[in-house]
Structure 1
Amino acid sequence: MTVHNMMEEIVRNCLRDLMHNQTRLSGLDEKQQSDIMALALNKLPPRYVSTVRGEMFAKTQLRQQVETDVYRELTHAIEKVLTTD
């Protein structure tokens, strides 16, 4: 397994959830999604894992701990991207 930032997966999944549940976000194109993710990830601390065990821990406990922060940063990023397009 290689080292990767689990925060990317958490942010991606939370953004997909927002896009699925909010009509105004359902039409975000790939560039907008990438911009939103980049803006949010730059505001969030990275969470690196290098083992399957670490990944499983991150997927269960870490997500619950950081989800509020992720949604807050995604909301800020969405507003920034949608007001500049």
Structure 2
Amino acid sequence: MDIETQVKTIAAHYGDGIIASLKANFDQRELVIHLGEPWFELEESAQDAIAEDLHRKATSFDFTRLRILDRTGQPLVRSPVVGEQMIILQRRRVA
């Protein structure tokens, strides 16, 4: 199973439309995931779980950098510099 299918399988546990798109740059070992509007409607615990699941999956495919963005390219979540826990930058849509 390829990375896109596996990531979408993870997201399916949390609801439709969570993952809008996915781009893998294998040369730079970077995975960029764009999330849809349903992200902003999730409970914090679900957002944390999705971020951690995606981080684990990216790591299992040897990506060293994971960027999770909204549809406009604004960062929502980033990989940790120190430690293991993903850093949630934006949980709710800014008006």
The TM-score, its normalising length taken from structure 1, stands at 0.28
State which structure, 1 or 2, has the greater radius of gyration over its C-alpha atoms.
1
User: Larger % of strand: which?
Assistant: 2
The TM-score, its normalising length taken from structure 2, stands at 0.26
User: Larger % of helix: which?
Assistant: 1
